[in-house]
Structure 1
Amino acid sequence: MERGRGGSGGRGGGRTFQRNNAGEEWPNLVGVVLSWSLADVMNKDLFKDKVKQIPSTFPNLKSYLECYTSPLLEELRAEMSSSLESLSTVPSVRISRIEEKRDKHEIYLASDCQVAKPHNRPECYTPSVGDVILLSDVKPGHISDTTRNGRPYRVAFVTDADGGDEYDDSPPAKYGIVASGKIDAADDERQDGKSTSLFAACLLNIVTYIRIWRCLDYEALRTNRGLIEKMVNYQPVGLP
């Protein structure tokens, strides 16, 4: 794991996300989460000035959608913070090897976790696409372990899984991840000649958050008139 000191302010921070014009790109939620520093995630006031009481009526669709961006981010931050505060109880796994690709990394689980039904062993967590994982060169048991001795705070998003056997329930052979910063290969040798260990601890899965986040993109919805019509004219099942 690369040595360094994590910053106290993330690139994302508690900023408000909204387009100023139609040509501006809607932020990628994964990028937002990976931009948060440890201090950002643990800051209960990160979105204090952004989360407002949601009114009962709205002047237009855009103002309606904007009311929910900060509350969604705060809910995600709070869930992530809760996992970091209870690291000793979250599922984790030892990584045997990590390879750097052009735009991502590939991780391989330790051989002792390449067994059927690894969920029967809490130390053999099987990643899923959409997981946000904490990477550490020590098995994390407390939040202080994440930055002890100058360790950088590193999290990653699981983008894909490759391999595995559907018949014996074996986990995939490798996983693709996008990390928040530079990480060293798990099999790099230290000065004493021993391999550097690397562990992954699951903080949360953000697939549902991503789906909701995409629905808050006003420009994308504006170009999809059919979806807007369904939202405006929605009728619960069983009602005329």
Structure 2
Amino acid sequence: MMIEGEGSSSSKKRGVQNHDDGFINTLFSWSLDDICNENLFSHKVEKIPESFESVTQYFESFVYPLLEETRAQLFSPMETISSAPYANVDVFRPHGPELHDVKIDYWRNRFSNNGKEPYKTLPGDILILADAKPETISDLERVGKM
């Protein structure tokens, strides 16, 4: 990989912006339909060049491939949602409308060690809050059931 025209070490002078908040906000703005939509970003993904005119062009060339890969990674486990670990959750709202206390019962996983060993959450796990354990993606799409 070669970056042409790279200058000062100051990210502000090179035009590099912090896009962390934008990426996270984009992910949290996705609906279930967006996550299931294989064409959401695929039409915007282009071949990444071997050389770049600026650092900004370099970073921008990875935006859509990263978004599409993230969408695909979120969608992939949805196809086997019936075997996902689950737990009963109680939500309390003593701190106002946006701050909740959550009590999670022990995790169950019907398809691991015959349910003898509970699931342990891992960094990067996605939690779905629903009023019943979903067996298929369509269970998540029912209006009024989430």
Partner in structure 2 of residue 72 of structure 1: 66
Q: Structure 1, unaligned stretches of length 5 or more?
A: 1-21, 153-240
* TM-score normalised per structure 1: 0.45
1:31 alignment partner AA? N
Distance 1:123 1:35, change over 3 A: farther
Kept in 2, the 8 Å contact 1:93–1:123? The answer is: no
CA distance in 1, matches of 2:30, 2:55: 29
Give 1:135 shift.
1.1
Q: Is the 8 A contact 1:99 1:106 kept in 2?
A: yes
- Which structure: greater strand fraction? 1
CA shift, 1:131, in A, is: 2.6
Distance 1:122 1:26 in 2: 43
* Residue-by-residue CA offset, 1:51-104 (whole Å, 9 max, x unaligned): 111011110111001111111111111011111121012222221x11234544
Structure 2 CA distance for aligned equivalents of residues 38 and 56 of structure 1: 35
Is 1:106 aligned with 2:101? Answer: yes
Provide the C-alpha distance between the structure 2 equivalents of 1:63 and 1:57, rounded to a whole number of angstroms. 10
Higher relative contact order (Cα pairs below 8 Å, separated by 6+ residues): 1
Count of aligned residue pairs for this structure pair: 123
Q: Distance in 1 between matches of 2:51 and 2:120?
A: 44
User: SS in structure 1 opposite 2:128?
Assistant: strand
Q: Is contact 1:87-1:142 (8 Å) kept?
A: yes
| Percent of pairs with identical residues | 33
What's the TM-score, normalizing by structure 2?
Answer: 0.69
How far did 1:124 drift?
4.1
Q: Tell me what 1:167 maps to.
A: none
- Taking a change above 3 Å as real, the CA distance of residues 149 and 60 of structure 1, as seen in their structure-2 partners, is closer
Aligned twin of 2:9: none
Q: Write the letter of the residue equivalent to 1:99.
A: F
Q: Which runs of 5+ in 2 are unaligned?
A: 1-14
User: Structure 1 pair 142/48, CA: closer, same or farther in 2 (3 Å)?
Assistant: same
In 1, Cα distance between the equivalents of 2:125 and 2:36?
19
